[in-house]
């Protein structure tokens, strides 16, 4: 199943710099692993914001929840999920 996801990151301004750096490094490793596995085929930064839009490809809602809740930054994110379906006008279905 494909999902369009917007993630807005809201780290506390007073977060310890070492904690922040560790979180960001773990987030990078986690998301890159999911990309290599093919579960996260599209990842785009939203210009000028600490946010991204992504398309993920997972088996079901439960796998999606596990993927998102496993993100090291999950506790600091506002996440909006939109399930996707094939458009009838798409030529290479």
Q: Which residues neighbour 61 within 8 Å (Cβ) at sequence distance 6 or greater?
A: 1
- pLDDT score for 92: 81
> Is CATH 3.30.70.1060 the right assignment for the domain spanning 2-84?
yes
Q: Rounded CA gap, 33 and 39, in Å?
A: 9
- pLDDT score for 93: 64
The per-residue pLDDT for range 2-30, each reduced to its tens digit, is: 999 999 999 999 999 999 999 999 999 99
The per-residue pLDDT for range 23-77, each reduced to its tens digit, is: 999 999 999 999 999 999 999 999 999 999 999 999 999 999 999 999 999 999 9
> Can you give the residue ranges of every domain in the chain?
2-84
């Amino acid at each position: 199943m494909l999902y369009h996801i917007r993630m807005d990151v809201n780290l506390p301004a007073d977060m310890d710099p070492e904690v922040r750096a560790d979180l960001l490094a773990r987030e990078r490793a986690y998301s890159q692993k999911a990309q290599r596995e093919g579960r996260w085929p599209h990842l785009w930064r939203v210009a000028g914001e600490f946010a991204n839009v992504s398309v993920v490809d997972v088996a079901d809602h439960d796998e999606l929840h596990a993927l998102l809740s496993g993100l090291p930054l999950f506790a600091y994110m506002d996440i909006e999920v939109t399930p996707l379906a094939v458009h009838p006008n798409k030529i290479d279905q």
